[in-house]
Amino acid sequence: MRYVTAGESHGRAIVTVIEGVPAGVPIGQDDIDRDLARRQRGYGRGGRQRIEQDRAEVLSGIRHGATLGSPVSLLVRNLDWENWTEQMDPFGEPDPAGRVTAPRPGHADLPGILKTAAHDVRDVLERASARETAGRVAAGAVAKAVLRTSGVAVRSAVLSIGSARMEPWPASEELDGDAAAASDVGCPDPEAAERMRGAVDEAREKGVSLGGVFQVWATGLVPGVGGYATAEERLDGRLASALASIPAIKGVEFGLGFSLAFLSGSEAHDEILHESVVGYHRRTNRAGGLEGGMTNGETLVVRAAMKPIPTQLAPLASVDIDTLQAVEAAKERSDVCAVPAAAVVGEAEVALVIADAYTRKFGGDSIADLVAALDAYRGRIGS
């Protein structure tokens, strides 16, 4: 399974095309729209989220509540387009007064215009905007539908915003996904969630933005998904790449992650056990469910660190690309904190990578064939 998105932040719409989706996967409108709504939520989001009411329009690949085996294409309209029709007109004349010439530190603005020889930062920022991730979340909902038929569930939770975080750290994989989904900061711990809201309120008063850390976990995985023979097959590499592709993500770790570097081998690894009822299993899960580029049958646990959003209410220093004089960075309407939204995007990316790995291993023509192959595999390995 592969996806590609198209569209600009203030263009007409975000479009997603997903290839390699097996035929016969049950999926409903709510399955997609629920995650789109979750991406828009979150304490600390900006005014844009009060304008958009994201809903996916199915253009192809789904009929009568099931996938057809052909590419699935989805469209999410940008309601804010109505306020930007002149600036984003595909064929109109540009308004010189509307140019953005003060790139923001920490954004794609300056590297993007140097790369493309653009003379208006908007040519870059419109596509580099995290608005594009609405398309990823829509694609991830399709991937989740594939995984549900395979007994796999993917959830997420926010562990920290700024200096406010859950304790103990790092968090256990045994988090309450439903409580996280219901929280306006994406955190299942009410006390930590209250501290996070306080951190957002304080940042808003100061005119700054905040980042944080979120965790994604996947249950129901069989061992041996992924590969060890080539770099391209290694599931941890694919997951790290997918998560790091999300705007503002600056770090990814699995299981105990960076903490493993400070432990001895006897402390770091998960001893192998076997019982007739459950087969091979581990008493601990420090590896986060991955060994040698493959799933090992335990819960997949991955965390990602998100930097603060580049747009500040109190702008940082920049340089005007016309005059090369010192100026304040441009201000786009933005969020104080978008970590809860990023967690939902991370959930989608993890689901897409795992669904692709499952279709590669067990077959992708139809979901019936995939499930039959998966059942046979479980029988062989005693899972």
pLDDT tens, per residue, the chain with 383 residues: 999 999 999 999 999 999 999 999 999 999 999 999 999 888 877 655 555 689 999 999 999 999 999 999 999 999 988 989 999 999 988 888 889 999 999 999 999 999 999 999 999 999 999 999 999 999 999 999 999 999 999 999 999 999 999 988 877 777 999 999 999 999 999 999 999 999 999 999 998 999 999 999 999 999 999 999 999 999 999 999 999 999 999 999 999 999 999 999 999 999 999 998 888 999 999 999 999 999 999 999 999 999 999 888 788 999 999 999 999 998 776 789 999 999 999 999 999 999 999 999 999 999 999 999 999 999 999 86
Q: Output the pLDDT for position 163.
A: 96
| Residue with the two structure tokens 């954004």 | 107
Q: Is the dihedral of CA 306, 311, 315, 316 positive or negative?
A: positive
Q: Output the pLDDT for position 383.
A: 67
Contacts of 301 (CB under 8 A, 6+ apart): 173, 215, 216, 217, 254, 255, 285, 288, 289
Closest to 112 measured CA to CA, from 125, 99, 97: 125
CA 319 to chain centre: 32
Closest to 34 measured CA to CA, from 150, 178, 234: 178
The kind and range of the H/E element at 291 are: strand 290-291
CB 211 within 8 A of CB 343: no
Task: Please tell me the class of the 2-381 domain.
Answer: alpha beta
Contacts of 231 (CB under 8 A, 6+ apart): 237
CB 380 within 8 A of CB 167: no
User: b/e for 31-69, b at 16 or more Cβ within 10 A?
Assistant: bbbebbebbbbbbbbbebbeebebebeeeebbeeeebbb
Q: How far apart are CA 196 and CA 165, in angstroms?
A: 7
